Structure formats: C-alpha cells, structure tokens
Amino acid sequence: MTSTLAELFDPTGLGKSIDQADSPNYSVQKTLIKVATDHFVRFGYRKANIAEIAIGAGIGKGTIYLHFENKKELFLSCLLAEDLELLPQLQIIESLPQEKRLRAFLEVMFNFALTSPLNRALLSRRQDFVTLIEEIDTKILKDHDEKINEYIINKLISPLTHNLNAHDKKTMTNTINLATLAIGYLPDMAFDLPGQQIHTDDFVKTLALIIDQGIKNT
C-alpha cells in the first residue's frame, strides 16, 4: 500500500487544522497560529506563555482554549500549518513525469528545512522543545514517519530503479531523511564562510541533483 499525500498531512494526534475560510473561527485561528508560531520560535516550547500569545493575538487567554485544548495542541497545530504549506508544491510534483519527481521533491524538502521557522527551531534548538517531545505519543510519530518513508520509496525511488532490494530502498530513504534533518541544523553563516560563499538555492539544487543522479545510477 502506498501512502497518499493526504495521509502524510493527517493531523490525528499531531495538532489540528484550522477551520475553513468561510468559518467564523477562521480569522481568529489564523491569527493565533501566526502569533503563536512566532512566539514558539522565539521562546521555545517550555518558556512559551499562553497569556502572552493571547495578548499578541488581541484576544483573551480563555479564547485560545475555545480553539485549542492546550499549549501542546496549539504548538502542534502551528507545526501542522507550517507543514501544510508543502502540500500545493507536492501536488504539483505528483503531476510531473516519474523521472523528475524525486529531484523536485528533494529540492522542495531541502528548501523547506532551510526556510520554515518552526521546524528549523525544533531541529536546531532541540533543548528548547524537549518537554514537548516527551509528551508526544511515540507510536503516533512512528506511524507518521512510516507513512512518509513509504511514500518516498513507492512514489519516488521505486519508479527510478529496478536494481534495488527493499533494504537498499529503505536505506536510501533514511539517508534522504537524515540529509533533510541535517540541513535544518545548518546556521545561516554556513553559506557565507570566507572563500566558500554559496547561495542557498544553489546549495539545494546541487544537493538534490547529486542524490537524484546517485539513485538513478544505482
């Protein structure tokens, strides 16, 4: 069975999607997500203050709990909202010829790891979010990761090569995931070192090309 894009963004146990644009709650929830995301990026999870988020959003503290059960759900909903920005790009990738999908996917994911504020903070400042990580059901995280791996293997890697066994494909998928995580740790100054200046877009495209060609030539 191959996971679909919709399944990759299933919020079950990992936050909640904001209401539709025609809902009376939409405006409040959208503002809350934006303000809370900036707050979590700045202070981390443990030091984040719901009352301060409410003030920043121009609402009362109690109003937050009408939309999100607690701080954990609010944080996870912010993370989900950031992740959902990937969906339109991945939908476009699915419409590409098979031989072009993996490279396009890698470019999107690597660029996301460099530019998504909350995901980047979660990766590079893990100590600021450790209390949250301890609260999340590990089974939910494992199931989510398995769906992503399944999607990469069946939709992106398998169509490119017929010479790899299941173990090799899984190893390649894990390598892609680790590369994406590692990029999230890169400080901005890494692209401006003396004698080594490289534009982030060139970095993303080159790394994606190297991995894509390596898999195709296996």
For residue range 76-131, list pLDDT tens digits in order.
999 999 999 999 999 999 999 999 999 999 999 999 999 999 999 988 888 888 88
From CA 52, how far away is CA 61, in angstroms rounded? 8
User: What is the structure's pLDDT at 133?
Assistant: 79
pLDDT at 105: 97
* Residue 187: band (very low, low, confident or very high) from pLDDT cuts 50, 70, 90: confident
Architecture of domain 14-81: Orthogonal Bundle (1.10)
Give me the pLDDT at residue 184, please: 85
Provide the whole-model pTM. 0.89
User: What tokens does 23 get?
Assistant: 């809902």
How much is the pLDDT for 196? 67
Q: Which residues fall within 8 angstroms of residue 159, CB to CB, at 6 or more apart? A: 98, 99, 101
Q: Where in the chain is the domain with CATH 1.10.10.60?
A: 14-81
In whole angstroms, give the CA distance from residue 36 to residue 30.
Answer: 10
CATH class of 83-216: mainly alpha
36-76, pLDDT tens digit by residue?
A: 999 999 999 999 999 999 999 999 999 999 999 999 999 99
Question: DSSP code of 51?
Answer: H
Are residues 54 and 61 in contact, defined by beta-carbon separation less than 8 angstroms? yes
Burial class (CB in 10 A: 0-12, 13-18, 19+), 34: middle
Q: Rounded to the nearest 5 degrees, what angle is found at the Cα of 196, between the Cα atoms of 195 and 200?
A: 145
Mean pLDDT, the chain, rounded, equals 90
Residue intervals of the chain classified under CATH 1.10.357 are 83-216
pLDDT(193) > 80: no
